[in-house]
Copies of this chain bind each other. A is one copy, B any other.
Amino acid sequence: MRRRRVLDADDIVRSLRRMAHEVVEATRGGADLVVVAIADGGVPVARGLVDTLESIRSVAVPLVVVDPTQFRDDAEPAGDPRWLPPIKVEGRTVVLVDDVVFTGRTARAALEAVLRAGRAQRVLLAVLVDRGHRELPIRPDIVGRNLPTARNEYVVVDAAGVWIEAEGR
């Protein structure tokens, strides 16, 4: 397995800071925001984003986690989404956060989960890495880094940075 680092931890911090400013701009000051992390990969990214948002705005920004598995188009329909903790999205701006967007299928499933929770005024999608190859008409509003990848490559985000891994030698 070949592995190369494309962003280091400092790059991630810088990207998150700029993304937080984009969230504030896009929401005209960031009033009445809810940040929803897509489990599992979106959680550390969303935490970083919320920390930066709170330092910019000096206001608490609620962070919740959604597991969109049951809303995937290859999953059996199930009950209500598992929210940790439960949220009220009615009339609010939701920032849906993931580490990587690829086909768009996970983001679409998470969007479904958010819409199931109530009529948000607006849903923004923020991702640390957009690796292309979309299969659905889903567009991240806020992107940390565009990393065009081959289909046999993977993008891994950890505390040390963002890595591209390729199958084979």
Query: Is A115 in the interface zone, CB < 8 Å from B?
Result: yes
Whether the pair B124, A137 counts as a contact (CB closer than 8 A) is yes
Whether the pair B135, A138 counts as a contact (CB closer than 8 A) is no
Whether the pair B111, A135 counts as a contact (CB closer than 8 A) is no
User: What CA separation (Å) do A139 and B137 show in the bound complex?
Assistant: 5
Q: Which residues of B contact A140 (CB under 8 A)?
A: 137
Query: Is A56 in the interface zone, CB < 8 Å from B?
Result: no
Whether the pair A73, B119 counts as a contact (CB closer than 8 A) is yes
How many Å from the CB of A93 to the closest CB on chain B? Answer: 9
Q: Which A residues fall within an 8 A CB radius of B?
A: 73-74, 96, 107-108, 111-112, 115, 119, 121-125, 135-141
Q: Which residue of B lies closest to A137 (CB)?
A: B125
User: What CA separation (Å) do A136 and B123 show in the bound complex?
Assistant: 5
User: What CA separation (Å) do A137 and B96 show in the bound complex?
Assistant: 10
The copy count of this chain in the complex is 2
User: What CA separation (Å) do A119 and B115 show in the bound complex?
Assistant: 21
How many Å from the CB of A67 to the closest CB on chain B? Answer: 18
How many Å from the CB of A126 to the closest CB on chain B? Answer: 9
How many Å from the CB of A87 to the closest CB on chain B? Answer: 15
Q: Which residues of B contact A139 (CB under 8 A)?
A: 137-139
How many Å from the CB of A39 to the closest CB on chain B? Answer: 18
Q: Which residues of B contact A74 (CB under 8 A)?
A: 119
Q: Which residues of B contact A136 (CB under 8 A)?
A: 111, 122-123
Q: Which residues of B contact A119 (CB under 8 A)?
A: 73-74
User: What CA separation (Å) do A40 and B74 show in the bound complex?
Assistant: 29
How many Å from the CB of A86 to the closest CB on chain B? Answer: 18
User: What CA separation (Å) do A53 and B111 show in the bound complex?
Assistant: 32
